[in-house]
Amino acid sequence: MSIEVSPLVDNVKAFLAQPRPFLIDGKWIAARSGATFESLDPATGEVFATVSDGGEKDIDAAVESARRAFDRGWAQAPGAERARLLNRLADLIEAHAEEFAQLDSLDSGKPISLARLADVPTAIGHFRYFSGWATKLSGETIPVSVPGFLNYTVREPIGVVGLIIPWNFPVMFAAVKLAPALCAGCTVVLKPAEQTPLSALRLGELIQEAGFPDGVVNIVPGSGEIAGAALASHPDVDKIAFTGSTEVGRKIIAAAAGNLKKVSLELGGKAPNIVLPDADLDVVADAAADAIFFNQGEACCAGTRLLVHESCRRELVDEVAKRASAIKVGPGLQSDTQMGPLVSQEQLDRVGGYLESGLAQGARIVTGGGRPAGLERGYFLEPTVFEDVEASMTIAQEEIFGPVLTVMSWHDIDDLVQKANDTVYGLAAGIWTNDLKQAHALAARMKAGTVWINCWNAFDPGSPWGGYRQSGWGRETGRLGAEQYTEVKSVWVNMN
């Protein structure tokens, strides 16, 4: 192992020193085929861990294990017991928080400061929040018009759920999916992203330590095409909860059609960040740079399209560009790093393709566009700002998923609304103004699941998250998030 490991805590060093097997039925086991894959450090391109590579047979075994655990009584366990275990798990993650921050920073490239501040606390927060719903998901009595009849509903766990997650917030997305599924009484098979399997596997160890019954949580890393597809098409899986690209979301829907399993989808975005002429440009410049460059722009909710009124465009572009060029880019594990490398060579090439396409279609790079000086290895890219962008350009339409801001201007409110909604996505939107009447009116016209007024990246496990249009199906988090893992049964009683 030639990477710099000295800053790693002992538990992380020990964890990385062995090939990491799957968690199936409470046991740690290698792939049936013996296959493994390697995890690369995006800051160097070097291998730092080896992980078992899930095939169809492994997914079968994991689904069988989850089915047995469901039938053995997890579904009927008192909500208070599920709540206790979820809280115990939250406490354990908190006690091992630095390990998760290091594993995710190393695996995905993200700044460790961000993992410490956002990813890990958010993961803990989801387990705590959904522990509360474990005792509160309830049905209703319905005032039916049939004389002498009682009708009531109960919410039952949906069954065995496949959880498929991306690489941009690894432990956080594991928690965002595990917590509501487990609180509702489902059992699960989790397939983390190939690029970032490690924190999910470490989480599996803490799930064991917390005392969850064997088989309630099974974790099988592997490729999307094989392990992910096997899970999505599995005849004994009752639901797939997926976070990832819109393109793969379509494949999940097709694969789920065989047994008509339920599907919830958190997909891509192309969020507009809207600036009205009265906004405080200093505040907006900071926020607009943060909205796009946090997590290297590898965020579904990244503020990728800055839609600024033409009267303040020049000033704001210059201010954002100044901030972009001042961002400290470096390895995620370096404590002063503000932006890390992209997750992989493939992602760097993909984003590079968008830079070429923007230039070819007539947009202009104000700052960035190249490899940062002094970072010769790894998948690094400078924070980049494009202006002279037209709404029809590929860079204004497609999700870039990298540190690339496209700036467009608008002249009146109808022009603004048209441009803001002019993509196939509908995940998030931001509005900056001191005119709150206008802000509420604009919020109503946004085709987006979340609208941030004078803020960006405000989240809470209690607040629903999900997309309009091609950004997804369903709402994760909040009461709706827990209910997504239940079926509603309507019971009629003839009292006559």
Which residues are known catalytic residues? 266, 300
Nearer to ligand NAP, 282 or 346 (CB): 346
Name the binder of 166 from Mg ion, ligand NAP, none, CB < 5-8 A by kind: ligand NAP
CB of 123 within 8 A of CB of 93? yes
Q: Is 39 in the site for Mg ion (CB under 5 A)?
A: yes
State in angstroms the smallest separation of the CB of 21 from Mg ion. 17
Closest residue to ligand NAP: CB criterion = 224
CB 173 within 8 A of CB 243: yes
Considering only residues 184 to 213 of the shown chain, the ones binding ligand NAP according to CB under 6 A are 191, 193-194
229 interface partner picked from ligand NAP, Mg ion, none, CB below 5 to 8 A per type: ligand NAP
Local structure of 479: helix, strand or coil: helix
Q: What is the C-alpha separation between 369 and 163, in angstroms, rounded?
A: 35
**CA-CA distance, 388 to 373, in Å (whole number)?**
26
Which of the choices ligand NAP, Mg ion, none does residue 451 contact, using the CB cut-off of 5 to 8 A by kind?
none
Kindly write out the interface string for residues 211-250 of this chain, putting x where it contacts ligand NAP by CB under 6 A and - elsewhere: ------------xxx--xx--x----------xxx--x--
**Least CB distance from residue 167 to ligand NAP, whole Å?**
5
Q: What is the DSSP string of 335-366?
A: TT-SB---S-HHHHHHHHHHHHHHHHTT-EEE
From the CB of 463, what's the least distance to ligand NAP, in Å? 13
| Amino acid at site 253 | I
- Helix, strand, or coil here: 224? helix
Answer yes or no whether residue 195 interacts with Mg ion by CB under 5 A: yes
For the CB of residue 191, give the shortest distance to ligand NAP in the complex, in Å. 6
DSSP of 277-340, one letter per residue? TTS-HHHHHHHHHHHHHGGGG--TT---EEEEEGGGHHHHHHHHHHHHHH--B--TTSTT-SB-
Residue that the structure tokens 């009849």 belong to: 149
- Give the per-residue contact string, 80-119, with ligand NAP (x = CB under 6 A; - = no): ----------------------------------------
Rank residues 238 and 319 by Cβ distance to ligand NAP and give the closer one. 238
Tell me, residue by residue from 400 to 439, as one string, x for binding to ligand NAP by CB under 6 A and - for no binding: -x-------------------------x------------
DSSP sequence for 392-450: TSHHHHS---SSEEEEEEESSHHHHHHHHT-SS--SEEEEE-S-HHHHHHHHHH--SSE
37 phi-psi bin (left φ>0, alpha ψ -120 to 50, beta other): beta
Q: Does 168 help bind Mg ion (rule: CB under 5 A)?
A: no
164 contact choice in ligand NAP, Mg ion, none (CB below 5 to 8 Å, kind-dependent): ligand NAP
Q: Which is nearer to ligand NAP, 228 or 340 (CB)?
A: 228
Q: For Mg ion, which stretch binds (CB under 5 A), given 3-11, 36-44, 306-314, 421-429? A: 36-44
Q: Which is nearer to ligand NAP, 79 or 472 (CB)?
A: 472
Tokens 């509160």 sit on residue: 136
Min. distance of Cβ 298 from ligand NAP in angstroms?
7
CB 187 within 8 A of CB 72: no
Q: Which stretch binds ligand NAP (CB under 6 A): 30-38, 164-172, 280-288, 356-364?
A: 164-172
Distance CA 296, CA 240 (A): 28
Q: Using the rule CB under 6 A, which residue among 300, 306, 355, 363 binds ligand NAP? A: 300
Contact 482, 130 (CB under 8 A): yes
Distance separating alpha carbons of residues 209 and 189, to the nearest angstrom: 18
* Residue pair 164/240 in contact by the 8 Å Cβ criterion: yes
109 binds, among Mg ion, ligand NAP, none (CB under 5 to 8 A by kind): none
CB of 109 to Mg ion, least distance (A): 8
Which positions touch ligand NAP (CB under 6 A)?
Answer: 164-168, 191, 193-194, 223-225, 228-229, 232, 243-245, 248, 251-252, 266-269, 300, 399, 401, 427, 467, 471-472
